[in-house]
């Protein structure tokens, strides 16, 4: 279900509860998105340079670097000089903090959480450069289950920063998959197998792929199975993803209270 920017109506909230997601188009305009993308480019360059001072490690052949509380995940060859994911990102820029604190995002989250006071659990930038790799089917809850105070109260918002197409790695979900809670994970012997959903749990007949314009907000449940394809286009498919929680709860990495309203 797609909704205009603003408060969610009862039908949209029911759609989020039952199908696990809701889409709000045209939340941010072209100029707002352009300013965020300019900032993200500067942050990527700065953090790549800072990686030389960080702690490097590899999981399943993927390069990670921790720089303070920030985790940098790099792309695989031949794009190994580019970032794939940066988490968290809001503390690196007032522009990014303003983006995820915007009331056009927080008002729907207040409705979903049924609270007037919202905090931040975590946030990240997915860079999805041209040639960038996809994200396998997974739920977010398994990443957080040992750290979150209330795993059921962690709605995600993906803010698309480029027009999303099939070719540049569209976001996709398995509709209604959140209703069964934590699913069985992969057992393929990989280091990260526990964070990816077992193929037997994935009903592709319920797959929904989002081809949406830049400035769209996709709100989705932490238990919803989701992923994305590789970017086979010549343009990026950048996105900012923020995960919210009730206020006065500690954040994932910094272990501080980040109250947004």
- Tens digits of residue pLDDT in 165-217: 999 999 999 999 999 999 999 999 999 999 999 999 999 999 999 999 999 99
Q: What would the mean pLDDT of 2-12 be, rounded to a whole number? A: 71
Q: State the average pLDDT over residues 151-169.
A: 97
Q: Is the peptide bond prior to 78 cis by the omega test (within 30 degrees of 0)?
A: yes
Query: Does some domain include residue 11?
Result: yes
Residue 119: inside a domain: yes
Q: Is residue 258 part of a domain?
A: no
Alpha helices in 20-158 (DSSP H): 30-50, 94-101, 103-113, 141-144
Residue 261: its pLDDT value, please?
Answer: 79
In a domain, 191, yes or no: yes
Tens-place pLDDT, residues 111-129 = 999 999 999 999 999 999 9
Q: Please return the burial class of 37, using the count of CB atoms within 10 Å of its CB with bins 0-12, 13-18 and 19+.
A: middle
Examine residue 259 and state whether it is found in any structural domain, yes or no: no
What contacts 60, CB < 8 A, 6 or more positions away?
190, 191, 192
Q: What is the pLDDT of residue 257?
A: 93
pLDDT (0 to 100) of residue 4: 47
3-state secondary structure of 243: strand
CATH number for the domain harbouring residue 105: 2.60.120.620
Count how many domains the chain has: 1
Q: Is residue 253 part of a domain?
A: no
Distance CA 19, CA 1 (A): 9
* pLDDT above 90 (res 244): yes
Q: What confidence tier does 6 reach under pLDDT thresholds 50, 70, 90?
A: low
Residue 255 lies in a domain: no
Its domain, for residue 158, covers 2-246
pTM of the model: 0.95
Give the residue-averaged pLDDT of 39-66.
Answer: 97
- Residue 3 predicted with pLDDT over 70: no
Q: For the segment 78-112, what is each residue's pLDDT rounded down to a tens digit?
A: 999 999 999 999 999 999 999 999 999 999 999 99
Q: State the pLDDT at residue 48.
A: 98
Could you tell me if 214 and 160 are in contact, meaning their C-beta atoms sit under 8 angstroms apart?
A: yes
Confirm whether 256 is domain-assigned. Answer: no
Average pLDDT taken over every residue of the chain:
95
Return the percentage of the chain with pLDDT > 70, whole number.
98
Q: Among the ranges 10-14, 93-97, 146-150, which has the highest mean pLDDT value?
A: 93-97
> What are 102's two structure tokens?
């915007």
Residue 34 predicted with pLDDT over 80: yes
């Amino acid at each position: 279900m797609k909704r205009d920017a603003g408060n969610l109506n009862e039908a949209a909230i029911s759609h989020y509860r039952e199908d696990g997601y809701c889409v709000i188009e045209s939340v941010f305009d072209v100029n707002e998105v352009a300013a965020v993308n300019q900032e993200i480019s500067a942050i990527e360059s700065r953090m790549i340079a800072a990686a030389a001072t960080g702690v490097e490690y590899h999981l399943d052949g993927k390069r990670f670097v921790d720089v303070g509380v920030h985790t940098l995940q790099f792309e695989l060859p031949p794009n190994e000089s580019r970032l794939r994911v940066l988490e968290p990102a809001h503390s690196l820029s007032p522009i990014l903090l303003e983006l995820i604190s915007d009331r056009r995002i927080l008002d729907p989250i207040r409705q979903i959480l049924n609270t007037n006071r919202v905090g931040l659990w975590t946030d990240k930038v997915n860079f999805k450069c041209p040639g960038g790799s996809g994200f396998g089917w997974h739920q977010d809850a398994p990443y957080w289950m040992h750290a979150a105070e209330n795993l059921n109260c962690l709605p995600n918002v993906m803010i698309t920063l480029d027009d999303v197409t099939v070719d540049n790695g569209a976001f996709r979900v398995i509709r209604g998959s959140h209703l069964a809670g934590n699913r069985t994970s992969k057992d393929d012997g990989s280091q990260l197998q526990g964070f990816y959903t077992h193929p037997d749990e994935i009903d592709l007949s319920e797959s929904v792929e989002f081809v949406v314009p830049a400035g769209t907000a996709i709100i989705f449940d932490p238990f919803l199975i989701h992923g994305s394809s590789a970017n086979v286009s010549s343009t990026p498919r950048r996105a900012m993803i923020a995960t919210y929680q009730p206020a006065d709860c500690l954040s994932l990495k910094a272990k501080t209270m980040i109250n947004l309203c």
